[in-house]
Amino acid sequence: MRALILIASLLVSIYPAASAEPGWRPLFNGRDLSGWGQVGEGHFVVEGGMLKTLGGMGLLWYTKEKIGDAVIRVRFRRTHPKDDSGVFIRIPDKPADAWGPVNHGYEVEIGDWPDDYSCTGVLYSLTRALARPEKTAGEWNTMEITLAGPRTIVVVNGTKVTDYEEGQAVPPKKHNYEPDRGRRPHFGYIGLQNHAEGSALYFREVSLRPLTASELEGFHR
């Protein structure tokens, strides 16, 4: 029995994403990119049981299912103050390039930029941060993204940053690299962003927990 416990502990230390709390399902297995696809020039590699961004603009997307009425949890670390990335949600169709999800899904921003519409936990250029709880570059952060029908709630390190419902007013689009405005579907593909050459971010967990019926009812306003 002791030997089995030691083996299990070793596997968790090597592949941290392979261990999940009850109710949570890992989407990244800590070993390889099974279940994920890549578009764009940038790409991800698995290094030390973690996902690492490399190269320029791109998207690593989860191919197995569309996701909604669930909580997505990622644990991430930026290595430099100007590293940039994001978690894409509500992507309506299988992405053929890196820009389709930008314009037709939402990017939950990862980045420590001065603009409160472009910092960790906001829907990039659409919502203003309620708080800025991301830790200093080099430290690990936990982000939980709740998709409850038309409502999107983002909590970073235990603090709510975004609470948005489809149809709420958003600022007009100012730059061509900002997302097109408009409603997004309740269920869609998700992905992780490669932003630019030189950015190096690590993700050690990407997990999913479906919402219960009572939880979902509680999110209705």
**How do residues 137-193 score in pLDDT, each as one tens digit?**
999 999 999 999 999 999 999 999 999 999 999 999 999 999 999 999 999 999 999
Q: Which pLDDT score, from 0 to 100, does residue 94 have?
A: 97
Q: Are strands 189-194 and 43-47 parallel, antiparallel or unpaired?
A: unpaired
E-assigned strands of the chain?
25-26, 36-40, 43-47, 50-54, 58-62, 70-78, 85-91, 106-110, 141-148, 151-156, 159-165, 189-194, 201-210
Q: Which pLDDT score, from 0 to 100, does residue 6 have?
A: 45
Q: Residue 185: give its domain's CATH number.
A: 2.60.120.560
Q: Which pLDDT score, from 0 to 100, does residue 21 have?
A: 84
Q: Which pLDDT score, from 0 to 100, does residue 9 have?
A: 45
Range of the domain at 203: 2-219
Reported pTM: 0.91
Number of domains in the chain: 1
Cα separation, 22 vs 36, in Å, equals 23
**How do residues 37-92 score in pLDDT, each as one tens digit?**
999 988 999 999 999 999 889 999 999 999 999 999 999 999 999 999 999 999 99
H or E stretch covering 213: helix 213-219
Based on its alpha-carbon atoms, the radius of gyration of the chain, rounded to whole angstroms, reads 17
Q: Which pLDDT score, from 0 to 100, does residue 93 have?
A: 98
